[in-house]
Amino acid sequence: MHIQIEYYLILSAFMFIVGVVGVLTRRNAIVVFMSIELMLNSANLTMVAFSSYLGNAVGQLFVFFVMAVAAAEAAVGLAIIIALFRNKLTINIDELNILKW
């Protein structure tokens, strides 16, 4: 392998930062969701990279666990978004301020 592990880590850090930007700035709840998926993917990428460069496949097992949790999170989150849309007729997160005092 000629490529150092730093390259994978830089790619994964870039993906994570892009995900953070999306969560902090976008208005639509579904795009925020996509950004969360980006962050989960970058964490998975880091784990697979370390698993490969340390010669230990247990890291891939944890990627499997993260994926299962991500699937559960996506299902429940989208259900919440749909319920919100039914009640408020919007999913712009700046208009969903009923918890704000």
Partner 1 sequence: MNIYDAIFYLFAVVTGLSAFFVVTTRNIVYAAFFLLFTFFGVAGIYVLLGADFIAIVQLIIYVGGILILLLFGVMLTNKITSVQIKTGTLQIVPAAVGVGLFAGFLIAVLTYTEWKTVDTALPLTTTEFLGVMLLQEYLVVFELLGILLLIALIGAASIARR
86 or 101: whose CB is closer to partner 1? 86
Give the nearest distance from C-beta 13 to partner 1 in angstroms: 5
Contacts 24+ apart (CB under 8 A), 67-74: 70/37, 70/40, 73/36, 74/33, 74/37
68 or 98: whose CB is closer to partner 1? 68
Give the nearest distance from C-beta 88 to partner 1 in angstroms: 10
34 or 101: whose CB is closer to partner 1? 34
Determine contact, residues 26/32, Cβ cutoff 8 Å: yes
* 4 CA to centre of own chain: 25
46 or 99: whose CB is closer to partner 1? 46
Give the nearest distance from C-beta 2 to partner 1 in angstroms: 6
What's the CA gap between 62 and 30, in Å, rounded? 26
Give the nearest distance from C-beta 32 to partner 1 in angstroms: 10
What residues are paired with 92 via a beta bridge?
28
